[in-house]
């Protein structure tokens, strides 16, 4: 079972991922994996894919679905995509019980879920995805409970040479053993992928002057570092 929910309010599933739920009953028990009898409930900005189907359906027909990926489609809906969501590392075993936390259901950069949602449908009190990352990256919300990893759009880096970290108290990046990378460039991008700063490594501590926000620091030798400036 791999249902992962981001927001459930007032009869709505918003930015949820429901995937790889299997009907393993050997008898006559049948029905859609998401079966809701009332007609006032809605599903929005979500992914419903890879579950046991009932008459080709993942969801009962009376539900109103908008801006979502639904395998097999959904007649009672708008802006429905019947496409593979292209998860990063989903479960690939047989149709049986498994621990979903051992797998990665983030959409890959080429996923049709990326930037395919409707920002107006996102509740104001949901600024982060299920993993704690900023909910809207690249200007438009992704479908499902996870936003795509913006760092995949940043320059390719080599295997990390050393461990580095960010100290929000002193607003400094700490680079143990920095002698090997003195003078090398650190490039910082914001959550929309825009470059905001370039700075050369001057020592074990690297001061940063940045507005409050979430950033990705990149260096060819050190790799990438996600940092939150309070």
143 closest CA partner among 61, 55, 71: 71
Pick from 77-86, 152-161, 185-194: least confident: 152-161
CA angle 30, 33, 35 (to 5 degrees): 85
Percent of the chain residues past pLDDT 90, beyond the cut: 27
Q: Is the pLDDT of residue 219 over 80?
A: yes
Q: Is the pLDDT of residue 3 over 70?
A: no
118 closest CA partner among 64, 45, 47: 45
Look at residue 44 in the predicted model and tell me its pLDDT: 94
Look at residue 192 in the predicted model and tell me its pLDDT: 63
Question: For 199-211, how does the pLDDT look when each residue is reduced to its tens digit (9 = 90+)?
Answer: 999 999 999 988 8
**Domains defined along the chain, listed by start:** 1-148 (no CATH), 153-229 (2.60.40)
Look at residue 155 in the predicted model and tell me its pLDDT: 52
Q: Provide mean pLDDT across the span 161-189.
A: 85
- Whole-model pTM: value is 0.62
Question: For 78-90, how does the pLDDT look when each residue is reduced to its tens digit (9 = 90+)?
Answer: 999 999 999 988 8
Q: Tell me what the pLDDT averaged over the chain comes to.
A: 82
Question: For 21-75, how does the pLDDT look when each residue is reduced to its tens digit (9 = 90+)?
Answer: 888 776 555 778 887 766 678 899 999 999 988 888 888 888 889 999 999 999 8
- Match 């990438």 to its residue by tokens: 224
Q: Which DSSP string do the residues of the chain spell out, in sequence order?
A: -EEE-SEEETTEEES-EEE------SSS----SB----SS-EEES-EEESSPPBTTBSB-TTSEEEEEEETT--SSEEEEE-S---EEE---S-SS---GGGSEEEEPTT-TTTT-S-GGGS-TT--B-TTSSBSEETTEEPSSSS---GGGGSPP--S-SS--EEETTTTEEE-TTGGGGTT-EEEEEETTS-EEEEEE--SSEEE----SEEEEEEETTTEEEEEEE-
45 closest CA partner among 22, 24, 14: 14
Look at residue 159 in the predicted model and tell me its pLDDT: 47
Q: Could you tell me the two tokens for 48?
A: 């419903």
Q: Provide mean pLDDT across the span 131-143.
A: 86
Which has more pLDDT, 152 or 176?
Answer: 176
């Amino acid at each position: 079972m791999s249902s992962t929910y981001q927001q459930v309010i007032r009869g709505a599933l918003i930015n949820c991922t429901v995937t790889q739920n299997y009907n393993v009953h050997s008898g006559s028990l049948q029905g859609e994996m998401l079966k809701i009898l009332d007609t006032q409930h809605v599903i929005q900005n979500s992914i419903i894919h890879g579950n046991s189907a009932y008459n080709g359906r993942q969801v009962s027909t009376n539900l109103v679905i908008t801006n979502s990926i639904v395998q097999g489609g959904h007649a009672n809906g708008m802006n429905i995509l019947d496409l593979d969501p292209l998860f990063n590392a989903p479960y690939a075993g047989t149709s049986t019980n498994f621990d979903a936390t051992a797998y990665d259901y983030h959409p890959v950069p080429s996923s049709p879920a990326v930037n395919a949602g409707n920002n107006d449908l996102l509740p104001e009190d949901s600024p982060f995805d299920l993993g704690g990352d900023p909910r809207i990256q690249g200007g438009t919300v992704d479908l499902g409970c996870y936003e795509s990893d913006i760092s995949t759009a940043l320059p390719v880096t080599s295997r990390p040479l050393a461990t580095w970290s960010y100290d929000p108290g002193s607003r400094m990046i700490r680079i143990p053993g920095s002698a090997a990378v003195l003078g090398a460039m650190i490039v910082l991008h914001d959550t929309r992928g825009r470059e905001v700063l370039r700075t050369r490594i001057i020592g074990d501590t690297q001061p940063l002057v940045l507005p409050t926000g979430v950033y990705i620091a990149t260096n060819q030798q050190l790799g990438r570092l996600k940092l939150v400036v309070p």
